[in-house]
């Protein structure tokens, strides 16, 4: 009997996905560039299963039933291109290559188009959930050649996580790089959620002077509220974890955050598309700032250590913080969905936002109860332009407003950096202000560069220039928006 699917790449995600596919009755052919890895896998975790090995790409191809489905679980970038180049001459028309890595979506656009010319289908799929997700049910976000989806769908939907109603956290996202785009936004939101949690932690630790056991209890309680999520849950575990000397391990970890680039790509895309994705972008910058450790140590010495003490009833502050975190999270998701909406319009992807929320409901790093409410919001209005306008989320934003402002103001007053929580509030203030000061900005542009402006008392699209000093000419510069 030939194999149902081949997987190339036996690192942690590859191995666990293969074992998951095997659990669901699929015969998997496993290949790795280094042959010893294949043997190690077959004699180790895959022992006693139906998984078979392939020691060359030719052997892999020969062992698969048609149309062949070959999934690459290798490092994003050149390695993917190099495997594609080696596989294509061995494949038949109609065969399918799947890239399950964290690929930058323009690469997927390019690969779908290039392989289409050769009659090969290509799927670029986000896979989220880390090691455990891959093993027992990840969130899977596939996009690319739609012709390939019916062949891959049964396998992917079988191995994916399921919601509480047993719906698979995997569905077709859209053409070209749509799957990888949505995974990128997932990761951007992951950056935002993590940053928000760390801001709450710093407020509790430095501002309220709480112990790690107290903070752990707070996160355990928060996990029983609308904040119920995987990231809040693991945060409570982390805060309770003691090093061998009995002290909290988290305080022994160097405070410089790493990043592999998906959050940065989200920010870059937002800038390219003109979407004010402030919270996620602040989260990326917060990681950048954290990495300037030596400079920060010097600067603290230069400027003096901040006292950061927050006076007042601790329980009241903790509840205010919970509300500020929840409200900020709504803004982060609202901005992420705005970005997906713009990308969908620009690329003709026809994204289904309710389905995206469903795919993120289970299995992935940002899985949370909250995503069911997002799905409901898009069920009510599939074209909702701002998540915060949905009645459920609008209610939370309004109810949290006073607590959110207090936390933001206090953080500024005592010097606790909370870039994501405060920028979320600033965004909402801007978004809900009918008249912003951009009129003055337009006047400045026209004053120094004759860039022209539109008038509130004239139709949009009509441009005016004023000779502000009486010294300049009446010639205006070309008007265009980048
Ligand atoms: C997932 C994660 C994963 C990501 C890591 C690390 O969905 O399982 O998003 O894809 O690579 O979380 O990302 P950073 O190193 O950029 O923090």
Atom of ligand 1 nearest to the CA of 262: 16
Residue 219: which residues within 8 A CB-CB, separation 6 or more? 232, 233, 235, 236, 239
For ligand 1, whether the C-beta of 194 sits within 6 Å is no
For ligand 1, whether the C-beta of 190 sits within 6 Å is yes
Phi, psi for residue 31 in degrees, rounded to 5: -135, 150
Active-site residue, from 27, 37, 63, 183: 183
Is residue 183 part of the annotated active site? The answer reads yes
pTM higher than 0.85: yes
For ligand 1, whether the C-beta of 259 sits within 6 Å is yes
For ligand 1, whether the C-beta of 269 sits within 6 Å is no
Q: Under DSSP, is residue 81 helix (H, G, I), strand (E, B) or coil? A: helix
- Rounded to whole angstroms, the Cα distance separating 256 from 287 reads 7
Taken in order of first residue, the domains within the chain and their CATH numbers are 5-172 (3.40.50.720), 183-432 (1.10.1040.10), 436-481 (1.20.5.320)
- What tokens does 471 get? 């010294």
- Give all strands of the β-sheet with 52-54 in edge-to-edge order: 52-54, 28-31, 5-8, 69-72, 96-99, 121-128, 139-144, 174-175
pLDDT of residue 473: 72
What are the distances in angstroms from CA 133 to CA 20, 37, 76, 99, 127?
9, 22, 19, 17, 9
Mutate to test the pocket of ligand 1, among 102, 133, 198, 284 (most ligand atoms within 8 A of CB): 102
Give me the residue label for tokens 């995206």: 356
Q: Are 360 and 169 in contact (CB under 8 A)?
A: yes
| E-state strands within 349-447 | none
Residue 474: which residues within 8 A CB-CB, separation 6 or more? 465, 467
Mutate to test the pocket of ligand 1, among 262, 283, 288 (most ligand atoms within 8 A of CB): 262
- What tokens does 435 get? 């008249």
Give the sign of the dihedral formed by CA 384, CA 386, CA 387, CA 388: negative
For ligand 1, whether the C-beta of 262 sits within 6 Å is yes
- Rounded to whole angstroms, the Cα distance separating 327 from 397 reads 5
Atom of ligand 1 nearest to the CA of 133: 8
∠ CA 338-283-314, nearest 5°, is 110
For ligand 1, whether the C-beta of 188 sits within 6 Å is no
Longest Cα separation, the chain? 87
Active-site residue, from 37, 63, 190, 410: 190
Is residue 190 part of the annotated active site? The answer reads yes
- Rounded to whole angstroms, the Cα distance separating 201 from 239 reads 9
* Ligand 1 center–CA 187 separation, angstroms: 6
> Which segments of the chain have a pLDDT < 70?
479
Mutate to test the pocket of ligand 1, among 16, 124, 130, 136 (most ligand atoms within 8 A of CB): 130
Atom of ligand 1 nearest to the CA of 194: 17
∠ CA 110-115-117, nearest 5°, is 105
Atom of ligand 1 nearest to the CA of 129: 8
* Ligand 1 center–CA 111 separation, angstroms: 23
Give bridge partners of residue 121 from the DSSP assignment: 96
Strand 174-175, strand 139-144: pairing: parallel
Question: How far apart are the two ends of the chain, measured CA to CA in Å?
Answer: 57
- What tokens does 333 get? 């998701």
pLDDT of residue 477: 77
């Amino acid at each position: 009997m030939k194999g149902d699917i081949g997987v190339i790449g036996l690192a942690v995600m590859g191995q666990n996905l293969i074992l998951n596919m095997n659990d669901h009755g699929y015969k998997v052919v496993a290949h790795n560039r280094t042959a010893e890895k294949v043997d190690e896998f077959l004699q180790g975790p895959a022992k006693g299963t139906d998984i078979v090995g392939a020691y060359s790409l030719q052997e892999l191809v020969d062992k698969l039933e048609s149309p062949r489905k070959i999934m690459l679980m290798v490092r994003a970038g050149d390695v993917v291109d190099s495997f594609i180049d080696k596989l294509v001459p061995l494949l038949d028309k109609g065969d399918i290559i799947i890239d399950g890595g964290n690929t930058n979506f323009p690469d997927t656009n390019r690969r779908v188009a290039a392989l289409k010319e050769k009659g090969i289908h290509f799927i670029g799929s986000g896979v989220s959930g880390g090691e455990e997700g891959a093993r027992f049910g990840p969130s899977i976000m596939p996009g690319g050649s739609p012709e390939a989806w019916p062949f891959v769908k049964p396998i992917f939907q079988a191995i994916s996580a399921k919601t509480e109603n047993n719906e698979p956290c995997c569905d077709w996202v859209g053409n070209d790089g749509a799957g990888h785009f949505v995974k990128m936004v997932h990761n951007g939101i992951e950056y935002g959620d993590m940053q928000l949690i760390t801001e709450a932690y710093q407020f509790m630790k430095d501002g309220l002077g709480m112990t790690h056991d107290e903070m752990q209890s707070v996160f355990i309680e928060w996990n029983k509220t609308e904040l119920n999520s995987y990231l809040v849950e693991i945060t409570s575990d982390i805060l309770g974890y003691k090093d061998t000397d009995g002290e909290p391990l988290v305080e022994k970890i160097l405070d410089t955050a790493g990043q592999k680039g998906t959050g940065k790509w989200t920010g870059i895309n937002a800038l390219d598309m003109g979407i004010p994705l402030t919270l996620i972008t602040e989260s990326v910058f917060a990681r950048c700032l954290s990495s300037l450790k030596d400079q920060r140590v010097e600067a603290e010495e230069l400027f003096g250590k901040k006292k950061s003490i927050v006076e007042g009833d601790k329980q009241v502050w903790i509840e205010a913080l919970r509300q500020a975190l929840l409200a900020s999270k709504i803004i982060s998701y609202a901005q992420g969905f705005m970005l997906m909406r713009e990308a969908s319009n620009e690329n003709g992807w026809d994204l289904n936002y309710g389905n995206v929320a469903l795919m993120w409901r289970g299995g992935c790093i940002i899985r949370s109860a909250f995503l069911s409410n997002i799905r409901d919001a898009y069920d009510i209005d599939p074209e909702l332009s701002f998540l915060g306008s949905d009645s459920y989320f609008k209610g939370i934003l309004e109810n949290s407003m006073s607590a959110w402002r207090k936390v933001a103001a206090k953080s500024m007053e005592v010097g606790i950096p909370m870039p994501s929580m405060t920028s979320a509030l600033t965004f909402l203030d801007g978004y809900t202000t009918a008249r912003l000061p951009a009129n003055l900005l337009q006047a400045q542009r026209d004053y120094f560069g004759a860039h022209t402006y539109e008038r509130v008392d004239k139709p949009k699209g009509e441009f005016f220039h004023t000779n502000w000093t009486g010294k300049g000419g009446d010639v205006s510069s070309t008007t265009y928006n980048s």
